[in-house]
Amino acid sequence: MTANARRIAHLDMDAFYASVELLRYPELRGRAVVIGGRSVHQPVMRDDGTREFAILRDYVGRGVITTSTYEARALGVFSAMGMMKAAQLAPDAVLLPVDFDSYRHYSRLFKKAVASIAPLIEDRGIDEIYIDLSEHDEETRALATRIKNAVNETTGLSCSIGIAPNKLLAKICSDLEKPNGLTILTMADVPTRIWPLPARKINGIGPKAAEKLTALGILTIGDLARTDAGLLQDHFGRSYSAWLGNVAQGIDDRPVTTSSEPKSISRETTFERDLHARHDRDKLSEIFTALCTRVSEDLHRKGYLGRTIGIKLRYADFSTVTRDVTLPASVNDPAAIRRAAGECLRRVPLEQRIRLLGVRVGALSKNDGAPEREDFSQGELGFE
Measured from the Cβ of residue 384, the count of other Cβ atoms closer than 10 Å reads 14
Model pLDDT, residue 223: 96
- Structure confidence at residue 260 as a pLDDT band (50, 70, 90): low
How much is the average pLDDT of 145-172? Answer: 97
How many Cα atoms are found within 13 Å in the side-chain-facing hemisphere of 300? 17
Q: pLDDT at residue 125 above 90? A: no
Q: pLDDT at residue 200 above 50? A: yes
Model pLDDT, residue 207: 81
Q: pLDDT at residue 377 above 70? A: no
Q: pLDDT at residue 382 above 80? A: no
Nearest to 107 by CA among 301, 367, 361: 301
How much is the average pLDDT of 263-282? Answer: 88
Supply the residues annotated as catalytic: 128
Q: pLDDT at residue 199 above 90? A: yes
Instruction: Render pLDDT for 46-105 as a digit per residue (tens, 0 to 9).
Output: 999 899 999 999 998 878 888 899 999 999 999 888 889 999 999 999 999 988 889 999
- Which of the 8 DSSP states describes residue 299? H
Model pLDDT, residue 383: 57
- Dihedral sign for Cα atoms in the order 100, 120, 124, 93: negative
Nearest to 74 by CA among 25, 41, 30, 36: 30
Per-residue H/E/C for 61-105: CCCECCEECHHHHCCCCCCCCEHHHHHHHCCCCEEEECCHHHHHH
Lowest mean pLDDT across 108-112, 152-156, 192-196, 282-286? 282-286
Alpha helices in the chain (DSSP H): 16-24, 70-73, 83-89, 100-115, 140-155, 167-174, 207-215, 221-225, 229-236, 238-248, 281-302, 334-345
Q: Please state, in angstroms and rounded to a whole number, the distance separating the CA atoms of residues 285 and 62.
A: 12
How much is the average pLDDT of 267-295? Answer: 90
Measured from the Cβ of residue 250, the count of other Cβ atoms closer than 10 Å reads 26
Q: How far is CA 129 from CA 112, 160, 200, 287, in A?
A: 12, 11, 21, 25
Model pLDDT, residue 381: 37
The residues pairing with 162 across neighbouring beta strands, listed in sequence order, are 10, 183
Q: pLDDT at residue 327 above 70? A: yes
Q: Please state, in angstroms and rounded to a whole number, the distance separating the CA atoms of residues 250 and 169.
A: 6
Using the CB atoms, write b or e for 256-287: b if 16+ within 10 Å.
beeeeebeebbbebbbeebbebeebeebbbbb
Model pLDDT, residue 317: 84
Lowest mean pLDDT across 180-189, 286-295, 375-384? 375-384
Model pLDDT, residue 238: 87
Tell me the residue type at 88. Answer: Q
What is the pTM (predicted TM-score) of this model?
Answer: 0.68
Cα 204 from chain centre: 12
Lowest mean pLDDT across 7-16, 76-85, 191-200? 76-85
How many residues appear in the chain? 384
Lowest mean pLDDT across 6-15, 274-283, 365-374? 365-374
Nearest to 356 by CA among 237, 295, 275, 300: 275
DSSP for 197-264, please give it. SBGGGSTT--HHHHHHHHHTT--BHHHHHTS-HHHHHHHH-HHHHHHHHHHHTT---------SS-SE
